[in-house]
Amino acid sequence: MDNQDNHFPDSLQPNENSDRAENQATENGSKATRPFPAAPHQGEDFEGILSNTIFGESGLSNPSSNPQPTIPPPPRTNLFQEQRYTDSFNRESNYTAAQEQAFAQQIPGGFREPPLPERRRKATMWIALGVIALLLFTSILAIQAAFRSKPSGDVPVLPPPRAVYTGAPSPTELSNSFREISKAVKPAVVYIEVTERVAEDSQSPEIFGFPVPNTPRRRQSAGSGFVVTNDGYIITNNHVVDKASKIEVTLSDNRKYKATVIGTDRETDLAVIKIDEAGLPVAILGNSDEVQQGDWVLALGSPFGLQQTLTAGIVSATGRENPNTQLGRFIQTDASINPGNSGGPLISMKAEVIGINSFILSQPGAFSEQGGNIGIGFAVTSNIAREVFNEIVKKGKVSRGYLGVNPRELDTPLARSYGVEPHSGVLISNLPGSDTPAAKAGLRVGDIITSFDGKKVTSPRELTDAVTATPVGKSCTVEFLRDGKPQSVTVVLAERPAEVTAARPQPDNQTPEPDPASTKASHLGIGVQEITPDMAARLNLTTNSGVIVRSVAPNSPAAEAGIRHGDVIHRVDRTVVKTGADLQRADSALKTGDKISVQVERGGRILFLEVTLE
């Protein structure tokens, strides 16, 4: 075969030097491993070479010399030889696919595997595809798991449990604290027995027609208290001793003393009594402004006569108000307080008295000193007790400033009717008399007080606290709104009366005589009559103008709001009502869905009723 028929590249031509080296190694009896023969020469029988390689040199018999027919094995290429060819291919950079095919035709059986770089490239490709498939499969599983864990709709997912606070004392530590606090305060807590004189009957009993003299009757009651000075001053509740004709105090060591009342303050339900003894253990008044909701507290007293009883609880709330008084803030607690605990101390974990147990809620809405405990008790704050004690010890009574107005909270409907922001001040709903400091200074019903003595006020309680904390006789500046315009006056405070009442002695059922001629207000559902000066004098009205309600339609907005026959209307929303025409003008401006405030005078009191038009 000439060179034109030779399809082998130059790098793959038979290597004669290699053959001679192999022969020389054989002749010299070298034990080195004989390399595989070189590629076949042109026209040389490849199978013969392979047979000699395997059988000839190993001494084995050549199966091809056997005449027996055999199934020839599948042709295969010697791997080392293939590697040799593959290395030659890698060195031949210009070797084309056509040349590779021609070369394959020269080797019996052809290639069974592609060259190594091709196999590596395919292996790399399959590995990459496997990695991508694995990542894709993992992502699908993660997405499915996320969708399975996500609740349907907009239902919120609760966070897992975790400790929010870990500083709570152990039960043993808490018990030890209670024990030590009790030991520190208990010697100052006293038991108070009171003998009250009961009023005699107005009619004397008779025996056989002859009158028998009345014998004064007495009643026994009891309460608690605590010593605050080592010379025998004791703080307790006013309702424990206010009717007492005789007071006996029992100390924690069972010593008994007679006590005298130094002074009482009905509005805060506090009293100071004294026994003649020195060197007594005392309880310390703490700062009640530091008390917070959730604080542990202890109550010491004599419930039902059981002296030195200790109960524990927490501060349920602070700043509670008592509807029976305009003064004071109370601490609410669930520490057990029962009849007999009144006047006893409410104690903090610092062993300080932060409240004076005063009353309980024995049933829904009933604030009382009597009744059974349901876990809602109230104590006067220690800061108020300190102020009252100082006043009583110095003067024998408590003096407070007095302005002379009945304040009303400026809620949303009322504020809208006056054209102001809700809770931007306090509305004067009534003036108890013409001789009060407010009336003398020129304040009127309907004025909105925004500031007292330089302090902004937004609620009736804030105004009352500011006034009562001011000394009697001081001149104070009162800023207010009248018809939307800011004004100010100077008021000289008087001393607050023992009992402040707002009601006039005008019964609710005393109404003017009916008059058939009346004005109708269709939206409100009422019929009215204009007030005459004669009627105003007869009814003792605060103003000589307005309209009197003569009729109220059943199920009307006025009836639902509580407007009654005989009420005197002075204002409807923002309209001042002096005549029937004023009322009709205000009524015609109303529409369904409106919520308005109607100012009425009833029995000497000014009321603001919220009316909803449906």
Positions annotated as catalytic residues are: 239, 269, 342
| 3-state SS assignment for residue 291 | coil
| CA-based max dimension of the chain | 173
The residue count for the chain: 614
* Distance in angstroms (rounded) separating the CA atoms of residues 229 and 283: 8
* Distance in angstroms (rounded) separating the CA atoms of residues 323 and 312: 26
Residue 173, number of CB atoms within 10 A of its CB:
10
Residue 385, number of CB atoms within 10 A of its CB:
25
The tokens of 229 are what? Answer: 């000075």
Distances in Å between the Cα of 207 and the Cα atoms of 201, 210, 215 are 16, 5, 15
Query: b/e map of 288-298 (b: 16 or more CB within 10 Å)?
Result: beebeeebbbb
Q: Residue 116 burial (CB < 10 Å; 0-12/13-18/19+)?
A: middle
**Phi then psi for 420, rounded to 5 degrees?**
-130, 175
What residues pair up with 274 in beta bridges, in sequence order?
233, 260
Contact at 8 Å (CB) between 542 and 445? Answer: yes
* Distance in angstroms (rounded) separating the CA atoms of residues 400 and 266: 13
* Distance in angstroms (rounded) separating the CA atoms of residues 507 and 469: 34
